[in-house]
Amino acid sequence: MTMWFAQWEVLLPGAILYLYFVKRFRFYRSETMPSRLGYTNRKAFSRMTVEDAWKIHNFLVEFEFPTIFSTATMFALFKAYGIPSISSLLCMTGQFSSKDTVDKRYTDTGCLLLEAVLNPPASPRAIEAIARINYLHSTYRATGKITDADMLYTLSLFALEPSRWVAKYEWRELTSLEKCAVGTLWKRLGDALGVNFDLLPGSREGLGRWGGVAGTTGQLESRVPGCSHGARTYEQEGCRRDFVPHCVEATNEIQAHRKADSRGDSGGKASRSYDSYLTFIRTFNSIRKFVLLRLTLPRVRPKKRLPIAASSGRIHARRYNIQPWYVKPTIVSRCGPAAWRTWLQGGVLPGDQGDKYFPQGFIASELGPTTLRECGKEKMEAERQRLESELTSEIGKCPFLAQERDQSGLC
Ligand code: HEM
């Protein structure tokens, strides 16, 4: 009995102290960020540099919301695939027609995006990735197969979707400063990718400026027959659907059953399973929010997302979905928990099947369809030089400020 009391005498104050630290530090970094970086009011936001935007964005990706940011970006990609003009072009390229190409296409897209967004804005790695994306787009842009509206819409999804997901599923919303940083960073990437922002109304900073895009996004999405549209287009065109997230497939299936319900074909079973599915998701999410907000200290070590550069100059992917493209074979990648899961599912491990999945890593200029692997060196070099001068010039520091100066005739 005395022993039991002695344990509680230590445990109870310990638990109270822990909860106090959670309360004290959960919001500490986001609340002190404006004064630490010198952006204490909205006027200061409009002077935000791309470097600061990148630092804040990386803080969100690696410390505050790693899971939601990467899931939302994956869904942004999937949503873009749902637009008829985009899905039909992607099917036409043939990259979605076999299991190997579809996984490689998905991995290459992820690697190039991570390289372009998570590396410092004017760094050689970021520039190399943007130059490669521009090269891969160049023929389609020149022939009008990739339109300005589709580019703006896709970019807006990357810029807006993570903040929407955070607002819906996370333990707090993005602050105004964080929204400004996300908007500033994606605006800069849009400029580098040649996105035409003239289609945009409004003149506020950061994500606020993306309000106009959000409207456009909504209009475009309302023209899409439903979230399963992308998947259906790919199916009709003989393309694979491996990239369709499982939960979307599950929701589609339940919706199909619900339609059967409304016709009276399944005795109301589907509506019940849909309701219990929603209840499960909502309960899980509420518990997750509560645990993170009240019981968990903020992340101390970053959840690294950026691919890893090797001394050879090649770059390794950190994780893989179906096939281990560009993943370095190590004891952890071949014997760790992820490897066991892959092995149980009958998948391929890093280093299996010789060089098929490039265990030696990638360089950005090799990414994209296999037929273009050795192509585009000269065009990319010219693009690299253009981007270098654009991204390092004084006017390139804050894209929104530069625009304002132009409009007011100050420069
Ligand atoms: C800002 C928006 C966009 C970004 C950030 C982006 C990003 C990328 C990336 C990273 C790749 C390389 C993929 C690979 O390695 O195969 C790529 C290739 C490509 N993208 Fe985009 N993209 C954007 C908009 C679009 C739009 C709107 C379309 C179509 C209407 C499009 C069509 C293509 C095509 C056809 C390829 C060539 C690769 C292939 O043949 O499959 N992209 N894009």
Going from N- to C-terminal start, the domains of the chain cover 23-298+376-408
Predicted confidence at residue 204, as pLDDT, reads 46
> pLDDT in tens for each of the 411 residues of the chain?
566 666 888 899 999 999 999 999 999 999 999 999 999 988 888 888 999 999 999 999 999 999 999 999 988 988 888 888 888 888 888 777 677 788 899 899 999 999 999 999 999 999 999 999 999 999 999 999 999 999 999 999 999 999 999 999 999 999 999 999 999 999 999 999 999 988 776 544 445 555 544 544 555 455 444 444 455 555 555 555 555 555 555 566 666 666 666 666 656 666 677 778 889 999 999 999 999 999 999 999 999 999 999 999 999 999 887 899 999 999 999 999 888 988 888 889 999 999 999 999 999 999 999 999 889 999 999 999 999 988 776 544 555 555 555 454 332
In contact, 137 and 378? CB cutoff 8 Å:
no
In contact, 69 and 216? CB cutoff 8 Å:
no
The encoded tokens of residue 179 equal 């929204």
Q: How far is the CA of 138 from the centre of ligand 1 (A)?
A: 10
Identify which of 91, 104, 139, 146 to mutate to test ligand 1's pocket (most ligand atoms within 8 A of the CB). 146
Cβ < 6 A, ligand 1 pocket? 85-86, 89, 93, 95, 105, 108-109, 112-113, 133, 136-137, 140, 146, 150-151, 154-155, 193, 195, 367-369
Cα-Cα end-to-end distance for the chain: 79
Task: Please give the Cα distance from 15 to 29 (Å, whole number).
Answer: 23
Predicted confidence at residue 361, as pLDDT, reads 97
Q: How far is the CA of 37 from the centre of ligand 1 (A)?
A: 34
Predicted confidence at residue 398, as pLDDT, reads 54
SS3 string, 109-168, reads HHHHHHHHHHCCCCCHHHHHHHHHHHHHHHHHHHCCCCCHHHHHHHHHHHHHHHHHHHHH
Task: Please give the Cα distance from 209 to 187 (Å, whole number).
Answer: 9
Task: Please give the Cα distance from 292 to 170 (Å, whole number).
Answer: 9
DSSP 315-344: EE-S--SSS-TT----HHHHHSHHHHHHHH
Identify which of 109, 134, 145 to mutate to test ligand 1's pocket (most ligand atoms within 8 A of the CB). 109
Among protein residues, the one whose CA lies closest to atom 24 of ligand 1: 151
- 119 φ, ψ (degrees, to nearest 5): -80, 155
Place of tokens 């991570």: 114
Predicted confidence at residue 128, as pLDDT, reads 96
Which pTM value belongs to this model? 0.84
Among protein residues, the one whose CA lies closest to atom 15 of ligand 1: 368
Predicted confidence at residue 21, as pLDDT, reads 97
Element (H, E) at 29: helix 28-37
Predicted confidence at residue 313, as pLDDT, reads 93
Element (H, E) at 220: helix 211-222
Task: Please give the Cα distance from 315 to 335 (Å, whole number).
Answer: 21
Q: How far is the CA of 318 from the centre of ligand 1 (A)?
A: 22
Predicted confidence at residue 226, as pLDDT, reads 42
The residue type found at 236 is Q
Q: Is 24 exposed, middle or buried (0-12, 13-18, 19+ CB in 10 A)?
A: exposed
- Number of the ligand 1 atom closest to the C-alpha atom of 140: 35
Place of tokens 């996300």: 182
